[in-house]
Every structure is written in structure tokens, then in C-alpha cells.
Chain A
Amino acid sequence: MSPRTSGSARAGQYLALLCYLVFLALPFLWLLSTAFKPARELGSLHPTWIPRDPTLGNFRQAFEEQPLLRAAGNSLTAALAAALIAVLIATPLAYVMARRRGRLAAAATGWVVISQAFPFVLVIIPLFLVLKNLRLINSLTGLIMVYAVWALPFALWMLSGYVRALPVELEEAAAVDGAGRLRTLVSVTGPLLAPGIVATALFAFITAWNEFFFALVLLKSPEKQTLPVVLTHFLGAEGVADLGPLAAAAFLATLPSLVLFAVIQRRITGGMLAGAVKS
């Protein structure tokens, strides 16, 4: 920021950065540490950062205690389907929002903004009743529909930003060359948008994979529940948890999100800014 910074100021800056790194990283390192500690060490009065006797036993025990694989399968199904549906229905609308003015585009933009402030309480009760009438309560299909709509505001925001970043001249040139409108969309706009669509889909996948509240309310039978809901079962009725397996399972549940997020992080930040560019 400043053209010249004195040595002592620099040192202060590095010290501050170090404090931030510690604050951000330590909780996660502690989770890792707990996940690899044997039960004996977890019960000891003086816990240490590095497990003295690291073990994979917690991971095995986690799979024995709770149906993690089934839950992961449910989460995967819900997140994949929701992400696909979300980008499938969002892309055309985002295109219209980006390329046309008019009441429709304005209404869509307004909904995107307002939906940021939606209190879930006010939506979840009617959603519960609506899905119950459609016989979609306690079913992954119902949850997928909710997740897809829930991912839409962000998807619309990102995608319309990506569309705006594409030069209109390309589409015009294709039209001059005699391509029909549908053909222009499919063979010119589509491929150029593909990276943005993939990033948006991955983000929708992560949000659905991580989601807890809707899954808690809408799924009742244990064999349908998703990973975050099953994780809370480790906490037990009195909140007395079996720490080792709990940490192991929590760590495993985070891995997909972490990996995918690392892949798309730059695109998401870029896309948010691209979506922000309004005339």
C-alpha cells in the first residue's frame, strides 16, 4: 500500500500476519491431531499437539459407529443432482439477465438480492408443508429440489457475470455468418461459458454437500440422512462425544469440500467480481 515501509513496521506486519495464520490454522490442526490420537491419549490429562502414538483406529471406529458410507452416498447424490439442476436452469436465465434489460431481468436480479436476506425459518415451515403435500418429505428428491433452488441466487449472480464478460460481437458475428439463434447459443456462447459453468456447478456442489438445516428438517429416516446430519449423531444425547471417531469422521467429511474449493477459489473470487460489473 505505501511506497516505502520502515524495517520496524515491516516486522510488525509480519508479526500480525503470523498471529492471523495461527488463529486461522490452529483449530484445523487440532482436529487433525485429535483424529489420529488413540483413546488412551485422548483420556490423558495433558493433551499434546502431536499424537505420541498416532493411529488410524479412530477412522475404523468412526465407520463402525455410524453409517458414514451410506450418508456420504446420500450427500453425494443430493449435491451432484442439485448442482447439475442448478446450472441447467440457471444458465439460460443468467443469459437473459446479462443480455437484456427489462422487467424480467430486473425482477430476477431483485430476487437474487432479496434471497440473500431470506430467513430460513420463514421458508422452512411452508417448504415442509409444500413438500409434504407433494409427498416429497423424507426423500432425497425433495431435498435435491430445495438445494437446487437454494443454489440459484449465487449461480445466477456468477453466471450472468460470466456472460457479461463475453463480447456480444462474437454472437453477432455468428449471426452474420448465418447461424441461427439457438445454434449461436449452443456452439458459440456455450463453449465460451463452459469454465464458468463448471466453477458455478462445483460451488453449488460444495454448498449442498455442506448444508445442514434443510437436511435436518426434511429428512427423518436414518437411511436417508446426509453426512452433516449423521455427524451430529456422534455428539450423542448428552453431548458426551467419542472424540477420536468424531474428529476422524469430521475430517473425512470436509475433504471433498476443501479439495474442490481449492480448485475453484480463484474463479469464484473472479466470478463474484465479474458479476459485480453492472453498467
Chain B
Amino acid sequence: MTSATAVERSGEDRAPGGRSGKERSPGGRAGGPPAHGAWFLVLPALIPILVLSVGPLLYGIALAFTDAQSGRTEPTEWIGTLNFQDLLHDTLFWDSFGIGLLWAVGVTVPQFALALGLALLLDQNLRFRWLARALAIIPWAMPEVVVGIMWRLLYNADAGILNETFRDLGLGEGRDWLTGLATALPAVIVVGIWAGMPQTTVTLLAGLQNTPRELHEAAALDGAGAWRRFRTVTWPALRPVALAITALNLIWNFNSFALVYVLTNGGPGGRTRLPMLFAYEEAFRYGQFGYAAAMGCVMVAVIAVILALQLAGRLRQGEDER
């Protein structure tokens, strides 16, 4: 949803007004909220968060260990790790899981490369920069459903512009991109890359604008070429932002739903059935709440591993700096 955490470490003095966090009151002083009144300020948000966010998450984890089903009259029972044992042998789920990983990496990596390129361009003093910034709004602001619909029009076998372009260029008759077994996943991945580009670009651009200019100029005076300057000056400064936004993108992409639901609804033959789509069908078409919750838990475990790896990367990098 947001790339907020991505820029966590990037800004030093970028708050409007240019104040750094040091000047904030440690609390209890005249400027801060009254000590006994803090609860009064916190409660309105705390209750909804507990009831509709933290609670359901814990409830969801608990459900994974039950045989909960939709519309059943008998009481739900604890069944231990039975769901997980079933899941272990559910080849359909693991196929879907593999597709999910392929999709998440397939979107995140090229998207990062493209966004980095665009951010580097936008950091230059080029004309028409404003146009690129304005256009970048479109994928960001659009409802995911509309993004899916839009690309379906583009990919449409007969009325789509893609096949017409192929015909014009003499590259054959074109094909039915979203229903072809071989083309469906790549076609969907392209849409994923397009949809997430703006956010990644804006985040990286913010990181770039925090790299020390003087170092650049010094490196240029020493005769360092563009690539060398990028490697020795830009990249070390950008790395924390790059790591954070990549980890977030991986998570968001792995959890994505609407885009693929609209584009292919998991087809053809399950070739684009992301784990979210799989779990959704399991829960709300077949009513297997407990089983679907177990799938959710497995997905969380994977995300936790990704986060742990990222954290390890950050720590290692922190040591390098010393």
C-alpha cells in the first residue's frame, strides 16, 4: 500500500521546516501530551486496531489449527496440525506457491531495475521530466481492477493494439496472450511491473536526492566515469532504500490479488493461480476456512523469512559502515 518504511533511513533533514527529530520533547514536558491524557488520545485508534486488525490476525492463526468450515452446524474442533499435514501433500497448493514466488520475483526484480533507471533519469536535469512525473501518477492512482481491465483491452486477441502492432511489424498473427499456457504468466508479470513502477521510482528518487553531491563532484574531478561514480558514490548511499523497497515489493507482490483476479482469474489451467487466489477460492468458494487459514500461515512464514533475510542484510551492511 505504501512505501513509507522504505524511506525510513533515507531522510536526514527533509521534514517540512527542516527540523530533525532531536528537537522533539521527550514527553511529559509542556509541549507533549499530558501524561495521564495519553490514553484518552490513544484509545479511539487502539480499540479498532485491536478488534479489526490484531485480533483477526491471531484468530486467523488459531483457525489454521481447527476444522472450521463455512455454514456448518456442528461445533468447530481443534485438529492440531492436521491442516498443515494435508497442505504438505497438496501438490496444487505448492504449484500455486511456486507460481507465487515466480510472480513475486519476476515482478520485483525487473521493476527495480526499470525504476532505478527511471529514477536516475529523473534525477538529471532533463526536459520533460515533469511529464514523466505526471504520467507516473496514472498507474499509482488507478484502481487495481481498472489496471487489469486496461491491460485486458491491450492484450485482447482481436481488438487489442498489441497483436495489431505485431501484425504491422510482420511478426506473425499475434496470439491470445492471457489464455495461452506459455504466455499467460509472463503477460501478467508485465502488468505487475507496470503497476508498481511509480511507487518504486518515487522512493528511489527520494533516496537519490539524499546522496551527497559533493562526493559526486569530487569523484568526477578525479576522473571517475559514470559507472564508477554510480558504484562508489550513488549505490552505497542508495542501498538501504533499495533494500527496503525491494523487500516491501516482494511482500506486496506475493500478497497481491486483484490484478491477477481481473486479468486471468488464475487461468489458464492454474498457470497464474497465485497463492492468494488459491486461498480465496478455498475459503470463499469451498468454505474451507481452517484449511485456507493454514495456507495463510504458510504464506506468512515465507514473508517472515524474507524479512529476516532483509534484516540480516541490513545488519551486515551496518557492520560494513563501521
Q: Which residues of A contact B (CB under 8 A)?
A: 1-5, 9, 13-14, 16-17, 20-21, 23-28, 30-31, 34, 42-47, 49, 88-90, 92-93, 95-96, 98-102, 104, 108, 111-113, 115-127, 129-130, 145-146, 148-149, 152-154, 156-158, 161-162, 164-172, 175-176, 181, 185, 206-207, 209-213, 217, 227-228, 231-232, 234-235, 239, 241, 243, 246-247, 250-251, 253-254, 257-258, 260-262, 265, 269-270, 272-279
B101 at the interface (CB under 8 A from A): no
B45, A261: Cβ atoms closer than 8 Å = no
A216 to chain B, nearest CB (A): 8
- Decide if B171 is an interface residue (CB 8 Å cutoff): no
Which residues in B have their C-beta under 8 angstroms from that of A251? 146
A171 to B52, CA, bound (A): 34
Contact present for A164 and B10 (CB under 8 Å): no
B64 closest partner in A (C-beta): A122
CA distance A172 to B144 in the complex (A): 46
B20→A279 contact, CB < 8 A: yes
Asked if A247 and B153 make an inter-chain contact with CB atoms under 8 angstroms apart, the answer reads yes
8 A Cβ contacts from B244-302 to A: 248, 251, 255, 257-258, 261-262, 265, 275-276, 279-280, 283-284, 289, 292-293, 295-297, 299-300
Q: Which residues of B contact A146 (CB under 8 A)?
A: 52
Residues from chain A with Cβ under 8 Å of B313 in the complex: none
B101 to chain A, nearest CB (A): 14
* Known contacts A24-B132, A154-B4, A273-B10; A121/B33 CB under 8 A: no
Are B48's CB and A21's CB within 8 A? Answer: no
Task: Contact check, B137 vs A265: say whether CB atoms are below 8 A apart.
Answer: yes
B255 touches A13 (CB 8 A): no
Give the contacting residue for A210; candidates B19, B45, B142; CB below 8 A: B142
**How far is the CB of B289 from the nearest CB of chain A, in Å?**
5
**Beta-carbon contact of B293 and A122 below 8 Å:** yes
Query: Which residues of chain B have C-beta atoms less than 8 A from A90's C-beta?
Result: 45
Tell me if B60 counts as interface (CB < 8 A to partner A): yes
Determine the chain A residues whose CB is within 8 A of the CB of B137 once the complex forms. 258, 261-262, 265
Which residues in A have their C-beta under 8 angstroms from that of B284?
217
Is A14's CB under 8 angstroms from B280's CB? no
A169 to B1, CA, bound (A): 34
Q: How far is the CA of A65 from the CA of B276 in the complex (A)?
A: 30
B166 to chain A, nearest CB (A): 12
* Interface of A (DSSP majority class): helix
Q: Which chain A positions have C-beta within 8 A of B128?
A: 14, 17, 21
Residues of B within 8 A of A207 (CB): 1
- CB-CB under 8 A from A156, the residues of chain B are 45
In the bound assembly, the distance between CA atoms of A43 and B78 in angstroms comes to 56
Contact flag A121-B283 (CB < 8 Å), given A27-B150, A43-B159, A111-B54? yes
Chain B residues closer than 8 Å to A42, beta-carbon distance: 159
Task: Give Cα A28 to B143, complex, Å.
Answer: 13
Are the CB atoms of A16 and B117 closer together than 8 Å?
yes
A247 to B138, CA, bound (A): 16
Taking CB atoms, residues of chain A closer than 8 Å to B44 are 88-89, 92-93
In the complex formed, the residue of A with least CB distance to B136 is A24
Instruction: Say whether, besides A17-B132, A96-B38, A169-B31, A49 and B161 are in contact (CB < 8 Å).
Output: yes
Cβ–Cβ contact B143 & A210, under 8 A: yes
B181 located at the interface, meaning its Cβ lies under 8 Å from any Cβ of chain A in the complex: no
Q: How far is the CA of A147 from the CA of B5 in the complex (A)?
A: 21
Q: Which B residues touch A49, using CB under 8 A?
A: 161
Task: Known contacts A167-B17, A232-B145, A274-B14; decide if A119 and B120 are in contact (CB<8 Å).
Answer: no
Top 10 nearest A-B pairs (CB, nearest first) are A122-B296, A279-B21, A261-B141, A92-B41, A100-B27, A210-B143, A126-B59, A126-B56, A168-B31, A171-B31
Query: What are some 8 contacts across the A-B interface (CB < 8 A)?
Result: A24-B194, A27-B150, A89-B44, A96-B33, A125-B63, A172-B29, A250-B150, A262-B137
CA distance A170 to B24 in the complex (A): 12
Q: Are B159 and A47 in contact (CB under 8 A)?
A: yes
Contact partner, A175, options B1, B20, B30, B206, Cβ 8 Å: B30
A185 surroundings in chain B (CB, below 8 A): 33
| Nearest CB of B to A136, in Å | 10
Q: Are B300 and A148 in contact (CB under 8 A)?
A: no
Chain A residue nearest to B306 in the complex (CB): A117
Q: For B124, what are the chain A residues with a Cβ–Cβ distance below 8 Å?
A: 1, 5, 13
Q: A153 CA to B48 CA in the complex, in Å?
A: 12
B149 part of interface (Cβ distance < 8 Å) = yes
Query: Known: A47-B161, A148-B48, A152-B45. Is A13-B126 also a contact (CB below 8 A)?
Result: yes
- B164–A47 contact, CB under 8 A? yes
Question: Once the chains bind, are A116 and B216 in contact (CB under 8 Å)?
Answer: no
Q: Is B81 part of the contact surface with A, judged by Cβ < 8 Å?
A: no
Given the known inter-chain contacts A113-B5, A149-B48, please indicate yes or no for A21 contacting B154, CB distance below 8 A. Answer: no
How far is B142's CA from A113's CA once the two chains are assembled, in angstroms?
Answer: 24
Do B49 and A111 touch across chains, with their CB atoms under 8 A apart? yes
